[in-house]
């Protein structure tokens, strides 16, 4: 089977998808933005062919490149796993008559107001929302729904370029900042109160083959606005607990509603006073290398089983559910350059047997801003058989380690 995989080199865990495709027997053809000579020998060994392009999101360039490959080989699949790549790849996939996620599904997963409209029509509870380029319509939505509101790009991912708006004055300021006042189209949403998490799957022909549930501590918007917080993402190994039944059932309804066939999925949810509400839906894996957490928690290679769905149409591996696992971000106390770490040796001595990966940039390395995300600076990935013990350990890590910068 000939599989084109878009952007196998960046971010770094993209290489794992290429590795997995090669492992399960695919002939892997990469299309990426880095010259061939910039790729390391390991990645060279996983790619049978490679096409260098200036931008994988330039639809015309991507289409010309795919058709160039088609002139040499029959192409069985065209795959992408990055949010910004999903829609352009779907457009090219449809134009080139290659099986995979449809353009309609990709568009629904990318355009947040249209997504929520489709979900509400199918009876999936989610925030009230509107997509608009009209400031008057935004003011009317605010008057009808009330504050707080969320304002974000129509194609946002995570908390990128996202604002919480608490009154009319803030709405006017945010409309200027996001371009709505000048006619840019954005999404406005009801603010949903409650605990936030996400539900991820590997789906084959519309049926869930693997699923995982992860909690945010605290919610993303709060974590991305406060430097002092060491935010956590914690994956449970208690999926059979009664409280998760509703999430898993609603996730399956989302998959059917949006027409997701064979694909990873990523579904953000909130649970609070209004019950369970689904938020963003992606027909892609989660970000921040979260599949590595699932691999560590379950003693299996999720990348390989994703590749099995693409090449063989089914999964083969079984997750152990032995561990809860999580990632905790450790942020520098200010912007600048790393000066050193306090408490890291203590944590290694106490919890080293449970730490599966970590990153501590060398002293002198430039810091990254809080808005750069959970893995931009120092972080630790850890697992434990007991979810509650894992949470305690992660809280101890957050209380103990200090990242000094200046």
In this predicted model, what pLDDT tens digit does every residue of 169-180 receive, in sequence order?
Answer: 999 999 999 999
Does 364 reside within a domain?
yes
Quick one: pLDDT at residue 156?
60
Does 109 reside within a domain?
no
Residue 233 burial (CB < 10 Å; 0-12/13-18/19+)? buried
Quick one: pLDDT at residue 371?
87
Residue 65, domain CATH: 3.40.50.20
Residue 289, domain CATH: 3.30.470.20
244, 182: one domain: no
Q: Is the pLDDT of residue 159 over 90?
A: no
Quick one: pLDDT at residue 242?
86
- DSSP H helical ranges for 232-289: 245-258
Q: Is the pLDDT of residue 347 over 90?
A: yes
**pLDDT per position as a tens digit, 198-228:** 999 999 999 999 999 999 999 998 998 899 9
Quick one: pLDDT at residue 155?
67
Quick one: pLDDT at residue 128?
86
254, 225: one domain: yes
Does 373 reside within a domain?
yes
Residue 161 banded pLDDT, cuts 50, 70, 90: confident
Which residues lie closer than 8 Å to 211 by C-beta, 6 or more apart? 199, 200, 201, 202, 239, 248, 251
Q: How many CA atoms lie within 13 A of 382 on its CB side?
A: 26
226, 340: one domain: yes
Q: Is the pLDDT of residue 380 over 80?
A: yes
Does 105 reside within a domain?
no
17/7 Cα distance (integer angstroms): 10
Quick one: pLDDT at residue 173?
92
| Contact of 194 with 277, CB cutoff 8 Å | yes
Residue 153 banded pLDDT, cuts 50, 70, 90: confident
Does 123 reside within a domain?
no
- How many secondary structure helices (H) and strands (E) does the chain include? 14, 18
| Contact of 254 with 278, CB cutoff 8 Å | yes
Q: Please identify, among 83, 100, 117, the residue that sits at the C-terminal boundary of a domain.
A: 100
Residue 147, domain CATH: 3.30.1490.20
Residue 257 banded pLDDT, cuts 50, 70, 90: very high
Does 155 reside within a domain?
yes
| Contact of 257 with 59, CB cutoff 8 Å | no
Structural domain boundaries, residue 142: 128-190
Q: Tell me how many domains the chain contains.
A: 3
Does 116 reside within a domain?
no
Quick one: pLDDT at residue 157?
58
Residue 401 banded pLDDT, cuts 50, 70, 90: very high
Q: Is the pLDDT of residue 158 over 60?
A: no
87/155 Cα distance (integer angstroms): 10
**pLDDT per position as a tens digit, 34-69:** 999 999 999 999 999 999 999 999 999 999 999 999
Calculate mean pLDDT across residues 374-399.
98
Mean pLDDT across the chain, nearest whole number? 95
Percent of the chain with pLDDT over 90: 88
Percent of the chain with pLDDT over 70: 99
243, 181: one domain: no
Quick one: pLDDT at residue 127?
85
Distances (CA, A) of 128 to 149, 187, 292: 10, 11, 34
**pLDDT per position as a tens digit, 275-289:** 999 988 999 999 999
Calculate mean pLDDT across residues 59-86.
98
136, 150: one domain: yes
Sheet with strand 77-79: strands edge to edge: 49-52, 27-32, 2-6, 77-79
Q: Please identify, among 136, 161, 190, the residue that sits at the C-terminal boundary of a domain.
A: 190
273, 368: one domain: yes
């Amino acid at each position: 089977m000939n599989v084109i995989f878009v952007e196998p080199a960046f971010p770094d865990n993209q290489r794992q998808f290429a590795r997995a495709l090669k492992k399960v027997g695919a002939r892997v053809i990469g299309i990426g933005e880095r010259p061939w000579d910039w790729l390391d020998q390991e990645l060279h060994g996983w790619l049978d062919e490679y096409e260098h392009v200036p931008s994988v999101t330039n639809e015309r360039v991507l289409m010309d490149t795919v058709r160039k490959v088609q002139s040499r080989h029959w192409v069985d699949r065209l795959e992408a796993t990055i949010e910004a790549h999903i829609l352009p790849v779907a457009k090219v996939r449809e134009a080139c008559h290659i099986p995979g996620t449809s353009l309609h599904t990709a568009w629904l997963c990318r355009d947040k107001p249209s997504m929520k409209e489709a979900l509400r029509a199918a009876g999936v509870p989610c925030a009230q929302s509107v997509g608009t380029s009209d400031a008057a319509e935004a003011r009317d939505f605010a008057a009808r729904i009330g504050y707080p509101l969320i304002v974000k790009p129509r194609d946002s991912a995570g908390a990128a370029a996202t604002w919480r708006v608490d009154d009319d004055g803030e709405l006017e300021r945010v409309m200027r900042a996001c371009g709505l006042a000048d006619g840019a189209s954005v999404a406005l949403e009801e603010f949903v109160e409650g605990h936030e998490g996400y539900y991820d799957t590997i789906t084959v022909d519309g049926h869930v083959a693997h699923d995982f549930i992860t909690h945010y501590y605290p919610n993303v918007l709060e974590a991305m606005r406060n430097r002092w917080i060491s935010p956590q993402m914690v994956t449970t190994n208690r999926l059979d607990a009664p409280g998760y039944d509703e999430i898993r059932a609603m996730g399956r309804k989302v998959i059917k509603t949006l027409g997701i066939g064979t694909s990873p999925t990523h579904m953000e949810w909130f649970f609070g006073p209004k019950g369970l509400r689904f938020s963003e839906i992606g027909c892609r894996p989660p970000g921040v290398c979260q599949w590595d957490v699932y691999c560590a928690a379950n003693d299996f290679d999720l990348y390989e089983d994703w590749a099995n769905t693409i090449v063989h149409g089914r999964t083969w591996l079984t997750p152990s559910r032995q561990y809860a696992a999580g990632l905790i971000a450790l942020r520098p106390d200010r912007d600048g350059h790393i000066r050193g770490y306090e408490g890291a040796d203590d944590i290694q001595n106490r919890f080293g047997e449970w730490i599966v990966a970590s990153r501590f940039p060398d002293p002198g390395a430039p810091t990254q801003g809080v808005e750069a995300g959970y893995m931009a600076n120092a972080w630790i990935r850890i697992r434990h058989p007991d979810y509650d013990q894992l949470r305690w350990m992660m809280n101890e890590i957050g209380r103990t380690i200090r990242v000094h910068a200046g």
